[in-house]
């Protein structure tokens, strides 16, 4: 990561232990400033991977980073799913939920995405900084109600949600954006299957949607042997 003197590349480090911090906030605000300075003649190339939510924290004022962190931790502790957490993150962020793409408008935006979410929903990966959110304030309130947190919301969060609910512009769109998945569980499984077959195995992908602990792979003997073929090898199970 060492850059040459006078390099035009800037590297920001932050989100230690995959938690948003003030170093990550400083980076997020610098990225927003860069995006807001683009014109219709510019192209913004965005590289996105899992962990982007923690690396790009930019709470909507007057929400503080600490308030957003506390709220996220409370939701996670009460069993909120990653989809629910990201719904809240997007609603309270300047850059998530398509906010980065909106800041870059009217520049064209191309996002190359490494997915860490089963099924590759681009609006969930890193909380979708270049994907317009399809959630509204009522979705957020339902989540807070589900986990008994609505009454404990900070005044700043209530203010931001009220402002979003009354925004006459409505939700923004991302028609100037191209989002491309360049790496995912499905792509990795397909490559692993192909390489296993090159080595002479009969590889079967049982699932690309398994989450949590994986069951033990079950092997069986194939007693059929074709004339002129080498002895069969046990089928290999390729799983996430």
Say which CATH topology domain 16-183 has.
Rossmann fold (3.40.50)
Rounded Cα gap, residues 123 and 70, in angstroms: 23
- In 3-state terms, what secondary structure has residue 236? strand
Residues in the chain: 240
Structure-block tokens of residue 135: 């959630």
The pLDDT of residue 208 is 86
Q: What residue ranges do the domains of the chain occupy?
A: 16-183, 187-239
Prior bond to 106 cis, omega within 30? Answer: yes
**Whether the predicted pLDDT of 237 surpasses 60:** no
- What one-character DSSP code corresponds to residue 4? P
- Average per-residue pLDDT for the chain: 85
Summarize pLDDT for 84-109 with one digit per residue, the tens: 988 999 999 999 999 999 999 999 99
The pLDDT of residue 222 is 41
The pLDDT of residue 189 is 93
The pLDDT of residue 166 is 62
pLDDT category of residue 148 using cuts at 50, 70 and 90:
very high
**Whether the predicted pLDDT of 68 surpasses 80:** yes
In the block, tokens 């006459």 appear at: 168
pLDDT category of residue 231 using cuts at 50, 70 and 90:
very low
In this structure, are residues 112 and 48 in contact, taking their beta carbons and an 8 Å threshold? Answer: yes
Summarize pLDDT for 170-225 with one digit per residue, the tens: 456 788 999 999 999 999 999 999 999 999 999 999 888 877 655 544 444 443 33
* Burial class of residue 101, CB neighbours in 10 A (0-12, 13-18, 19+): buried
Rounded Cα gap, residues 183 and 193, in angstroms: 15
pTM listed for this prediction: 0.80
**Pick the residue with more confidence: 136 or 214?**
136
Q: Hey, CA dihedral for 55, 53, 181, 206, is it positive or negative? A: positive
Summarize pLDDT for 30-62 with one digit per residue, the tens: 999 999 999 999 999 999 998 898 999 999 999
**Pick the residue with more confidence: 26 or 166?**
26
């Amino acid at each position: 990561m060492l850059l040459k003197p006078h390099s035009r590349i800037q590297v920001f480090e932050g989100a230690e232990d995959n938690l948003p911090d003030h170093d990550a906030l400083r980076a997020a605000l610098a990225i927003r400033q860069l995006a807001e300075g683009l014109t219709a003649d510019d192209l913004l190339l965005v590289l996105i991977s899992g962990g982007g939510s923690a690396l790009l924290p930019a709470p909507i004022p007057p929400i503080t980073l600490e308030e957003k962190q506390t709220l996220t931790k409370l939701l996670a502790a009460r069993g909120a799913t990653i989809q629910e957490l990201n719904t809240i993150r997007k609603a309270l962020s300047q850059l998530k939920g398509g906010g980065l793409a909106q800041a870059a408008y009217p520049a064209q935006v191309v996002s190359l995405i490494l997915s860490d979410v089963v099924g590759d929903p681009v609006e969930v990966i890193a909380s979708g900084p270049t994907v317009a959110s399809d959630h509204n304030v009522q979705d957020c309130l339902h989540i807070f109600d589900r986990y008994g947190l609505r009454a404990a919301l900070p005044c700043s969060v209530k203010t931001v949600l009220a402002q979003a609910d009354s925004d006459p512009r409505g939700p923004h769109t991302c028609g100037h954006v191209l989002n491309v998945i360049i790496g995912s569980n499905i792509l990795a499984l397909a490559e692993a299957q192909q390489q296993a077959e090159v080595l002479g195995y009969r590889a079967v992908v049982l699932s690309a949607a398994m989450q949590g602990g994986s069951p033990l792979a079950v092997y069986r003997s194939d007693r059929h042997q074709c004339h002129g073929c080498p002895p069969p090898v046990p089928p290999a199970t390729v799983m996430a």
